Structures are given as structure tokens and as C-alpha cells.
């Protein structure tokens, strides 16, 4: 199993949950998944990082990133991804006075959940959580049926069987 490199300094491996401002929404992230992928691609070109695992859901996403050694600037990366996506998507979202003063759109929650992966077991639990999430939210019956996930890549690598389903423990985790 591939695991993240853990460092004592900058860099390292992180799990993220990033939400749209309006939850539940109308499926904006999956409807415009190509724009989201472009925002990720552009950000990675100037601020490299590896995406170990990802799931994009209608109104939020989860992912595990590996940052380069001596670089832990994930806030800049998320700002660029969010703004890159927002520029590409035309919506009529509600924009608060606070956001208007800062010239911000109202698509994304300002904050996100970040967790530094501690060890191989922590990594595996977060992988399972990511890949089981579409089932947890009732979007599909099986992880293999969700198109916006790294699950099939992990099947191809032999880390999951195509018929994998998370155990009951993962369903009880609250990582968001």
C-alpha cells in the first residue's frame, strides 16, 4: 500500500474536507467537475502537490494530499483552487455583505477541515472514508458506481477489490 511521506518539518500528508457555502446544494461540484479539475490542474502547475485520493460530491469534497518537502502552504493552494473554480462558474449565489466588502464570491465556505495524517493506519482509515463517502450520502450503492472518485485507481493498484464496501467502523467515523 502506498502511504504518505511524513516529515518532521514542512511538507507531509493531509486529509481535507472542503464544502460549498450552500449545503445541500444543487450538485454544483459534479455538474462542473471539469472546471474543478482545471482549477486543481492550474494550481498544481505553480504549486505542486500530489493528490493521493479524492472524492468529489455534489456539495463538498474530500482528499488526501502529499505536499513537497519544505512546503506546507496548503492554504494558498486551496485559495487558488477555490478562486479558479469560482471564476469559471456562473451562478447567482447569495453573497454576504462581509464577502462583498472583501470582493469574494459566495460559493465556498471560507474554512475547511484539515488533518495531518499520523501513520499508516490513519492513512488507510481516511482512504476508506473518502471512497465510502458517496455510499454514506446515499448517492450510490457501491463506491465503484461513483464516477468522481479515485476509487477505481486504487482498484487498479490492487488496494481495493471492485466489490469493496467499508466496514461498519468507517460509517461511524465523523471526519468532516
The H-or-E segment that residue 13 falls in is: strand 12-19
Bridge partners (DSSP) listed for residue 55: 62, 149
What is the C-alpha separation between 50 and 171, in angstroms, rounded? 26
122 CB-near residues (< 8 Å, 6+ apart) = none
88 backbone dihedrals φ, ψ, rounded to 5°: -85, -20
The question of whether 148 is a catalytic residue gets the answer yes
Catalytic: which of 14, 123, 148, 160?
148
Q: Is the peptide bond before 24 cis (omega within 30 degrees of 0)?
A: yes
Q: Any idea which residues carry the catalytic annotation?
A: 148
Amino acid at each position: 500500500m502506498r502511504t504518505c511521506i511524513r516529515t518532521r518539518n514542512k511538507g507531509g500528508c493531509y486529509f481535507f474536507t472542503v464544502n460549498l457555502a450552500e449545503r445541500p446544494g444543487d450538485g454544483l461540484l459534479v455538474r462542473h467537475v471539469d472546471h474543478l479539475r482545471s482549477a486543481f490542474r492550474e494550481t498544481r502547475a505553480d504549486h505542486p502537490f500530489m493528490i493521493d485520493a479524492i472524492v468529489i460530491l455534489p456539495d463538498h469534497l474530500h482528499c488526501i494530499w502529499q505536499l513537497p518537502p519544505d512546503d506546507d502552504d496548503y492554504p494558498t493552494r486551496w485559495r487558488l483552487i477555490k478562486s479558479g473554480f469560482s471564476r469559471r462558474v456562473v451562478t447567482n449565489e447569495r453573497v454576504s455583505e462581509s464577502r462583498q466588502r472583501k470582493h469574494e464570491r459566495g460559493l465556498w465556505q471560507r474554512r475547511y477541515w484539515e488533518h495531518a495524517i499520523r501513520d499508516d493506519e490513519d492513512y488507510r482509515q481516511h482512504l476508506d472514508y473518502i471512497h465510502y463517502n458517496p455510499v454514506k450520502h446515499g448517492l450510490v450503492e457501491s463506491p465503484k458506481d461513483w464516477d468522481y472518485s479515485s476509487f477505481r485507481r486504487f482498484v487498479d493498484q490492487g488496494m481495493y477489490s471492485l466489490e469493496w464496501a467499508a466496514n461498519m467502523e468507517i460509517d461511524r467515523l465523523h471526519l468532516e
